[in-house]
Chains A and B, each alone.
Chain A
């Protein structure tokens, strides 16, 4: 690795980019337009949400209520807890989306007609919130028909209260904006590096480059570095507009937001490099990019809730960088979690980058055949 050669590639890329008015305009235009377009989006019902249960009363009645809730199929139990605080910690880490609390004086409250249970909801996903509303409609006691909740989705229904965490007003934009950073990075970054190399092959520049002492690693890294900066600029645009237009909160640290974004940018740039070693033309590079882009949008949890997908789709989603990024960015921005608390997703992204970058450098041959 020679610093002077690496730098020469970086400078060359930036000079070319500076003269490419249309690409420059898109770098800023895409985030702005997408943000406005996606700012208002819809969510659907879902099933099988990861739930934690804290049954503090341990009575036949409380157990029956839990069973009734599980029978709706909306939630599936993944953790048991003793106190509501433990549930809140799990919620924050993202291990559960819903917490069900049955207080010690469950029986007494039931007799008194007060709230018998609390459903704690990860409001950073609006779909989860609407699902929780279904839980609140579970009848407490067949002998007490008045406990049936009205069909509206008001947070307080009858005697089961739903407490939304992190997004109490249930505004879609709050979920969409952090996710949008990921979607835009996935759309533009993969294409940037994929095209950047294939274009040079098409224009004949590559034949010149591979006849020089320039190494594969220098070429690949030199192509990646300028676009990391561009990706971070795009991230800033979305964050700034998101806070200004939609009052999206950044509850965690801004540094974590940028670190997560940096990881996703690198992951996508590396994927683009790998595509470029395979694609013969810019058109092919574009097609391969969309081959990855569509599943990313559909399976990552950006469009449809992750929990609602069949197992196979979830496995595919686990391979996509966007899935992990969405968990990270929602955790940091909406739940105020730190990257350290979600280290598995960080690790997944780092591994993805390593594999893609390594494969791209190994696959790139300084040859024409």
Chain B
């Protein structure tokens, strides 16, 4: 079989999807998602549980048939040409999917063979991965007895064993502590520098902030996309902090004020995000005064100060706009 080189490495767009939709019975898990993932980037999928991240990734690698929409990955039409795509991708599933009753090294050997790495090259490649992913003295340990973080490290090592052009990582750091997460992301950027395109799903804001670009999913819909700076930039001036002696009491006062989109407590402070009015113009100034007044009326001493927006604010801003019933209690 002569594998068609699906796309020259110089190609700019690794993944393109239009109107991507997937239904499970009545549930629309992914709803008309348009996506463009540039090559050699770390692209993030940010979204809460059940927002359709895994379902989208599965459709992109040809494991699930879309109910509607078009997909092109590395120049191949999916799902029609999924088989040809499989040689060029690595997929790290959300749930640990390696063999728990095989050792670390046996898992690597198995995947090397399955991915068609020649017998001569296998040994060197595995030794390199063992070294790079710090499995030196654990090579003979059963994969099932590894810690959560170690399992994810092994899963990544197995996913990159054949040096794929495109990597799908579905919540790769869910069990990784912050320290190791930094190492993990270091690895991801190394891969991107080496020319790999990475699509990483996460529900962690700090991870999303590291991505070159990201898409925010909510209830199966793509509600925003762009670089983290672009996304937060749009909220400039719409966030401020309230420092109060009794933050929880202050929160109760603020949360129902008109124009307030979200209030979250950060230590002894409250982070307030303001909405836009029907005309789309900024309400921040007015709301800030209103908040200060309301707290004053309630007899609370509080200081209000400006703060730059972050991705969490972006997330709240875009999801509040789409969900019909705003969650106030949270």
Pairs across A and B, CB under 8 Å, 20 listed: A5-B113, A5-B114, A7-B113, A11-B110, A12-B99, A12-B106, A15-B101, A16-B101, A204-B96, A207-B63, A208-B97, A208-B98, A210-B63, A211-B61, A211-B86, A213-B86, A213-B87, A366-B83, A367-B62, A367-B65
Contact with A368, one of B58, B109, B111, B116 (Cβ below 8 angstroms): B58
- Does A19 count as interface, using CB distance less than 8 angstroms? yes
Chain A residues near B63 (CB-CB < 8 A): 207, 210-211, 366-368
**Given A12-B110, A15-B102, A368-B63: A208 and B91 interface contact (C-beta under 8 Å):** yes
Count how many chain B residues have C-beta atoms less than 8 Å from C-beta atoms of the other chain: 31
Q: Is the CB of A213 within 8 A of B93?
A: no
19 other contacts beyond A15-B102, A214-B114, with CB at 8 A cut-off?
A4-B119, A8-B113, A8-B114, A12-B110, A15-B101, A16-B101, A19-B101, A204-B97, A207-B63, A207-B91, A207-B97, A208-B97, A209-B114, A211-B61, A213-B83, A213-B116, A367-B63, A368-B64, A369-B65
**Given A5-B113, A5-B116, A367-B65: A205 and B99 interface contact (C-beta under 8 Å):** yes
- Does A142 count as interface, using CB distance less than 8 angstroms? no
On chain A, which size bracket covers the interface?
A: 20 to 34
Bound CA span A212–B84, Å: 10
Chain A residues near B114 (CB-CB < 8 A): 5, 8, 209, 212-214
Q: Name B residues whose Cβ lies closer than 8 Å to a Cβ of A.
A: 58, 61-65, 79, 82-83, 86-87, 89, 91, 93, 95-102, 106, 109-111, 113-116, 119
Nearest CB to that of A8 among chain B residues?
Answer: B113
Bound CA span A366–B86, Å: 11
The interface centre, meaning the residue of A4, A11, A19, A366 with most chain B CB atoms within 10 A of its CB, is A4
- Does A152 count as interface, using CB distance less than 8 angstroms? no
Q: Is the CB of A369 within 8 A of B113?
A: no
Q: Is the CB of A367 within 8 A of B95?
A: no
Bound CA span A343–B116, Å: 42
Bound CA span A124–B83, Å: 54
Bound CA span A15–B111, Å: 15
Q: Is the CB of B91 within 8 A of A211?
A: yes
Bound CA span A282–B82, Å: 28
Q: Give the residues from 164 to 217 in chain A that come closer than 8 angstroms, CB to CB, to chain B.
A: 203-205, 207-214
**Contacts across chains A and B counted by CB atoms under 8 Å:** 74
Chain B residues near A11 (CB-CB < 8 A): 110
Bound CA span A207–B57, Å: 12
CB distance from B20 to the nearest CB of A (A): 15
Nearest CB to that of B116 among chain A residues?
Answer: A213
Q: Is the CB of A208 within 8 A of B93?
A: yes
Q: Is the CB of B64 within 8 A of A367?
A: yes
CB distance from A192 to the nearest CB of B (A): 16
Chain B residues near A7 (CB-CB < 8 A): 113
CB distance from B160 to the nearest CB of A (A): 13
Bound CA span A2–B1, Å: 11
Contact with B86, one of A5, A212, A369 (Cβ below 8 angstroms): A212
Chain A residues near B97 (CB-CB < 8 A): 203-205, 207-208
CB distance from B144 to the nearest CB of A (A): 10
Chain A residues near B116 (CB-CB < 8 A): 2, 4-5, 213
CB distance from A196 to the nearest CB of B (A): 12
- Does A20 count as interface, using CB distance less than 8 angstroms? yes
Bound CA span A214–B114, Å: 6
The 8 closest A-B pairs by CB, nearest first: A8-B113, A208-B97, A211-B91, A204-B97, A204-B95, A213-B86, A368-B63, A212-B114
Chain A residues near B82 (CB-CB < 8 A): 366
Chain B residues near A16 (CB-CB < 8 A): 99, 101-102
Bound CA span A209–B83, Å: 12
Chain A residues near B106 (CB-CB < 8 A): 12, 15
Q: Give the residues from 14 to 45 in chain A that come closer than 8 angstroms, CB to CB, to chain B.
A: 15-16, 19-20
Nearest CB to that of B90 among chain A residues?
Answer: A211
Chain A residues near B115 (CB-CB < 8 A): 212-213
Q: Is the CB of B65 within 8 A of A20?
A: no
CB distance from A50 to the nearest CB of B (A): 51
Bound CA span A367–B115, Å: 18
Q: Is the CB of B98 within 8 A of A205?
A: yes
Nearest CB to that of A7 among chain B residues?
Answer: B113
Chain B residues near A4 (CB-CB < 8 A): 113, 116, 119
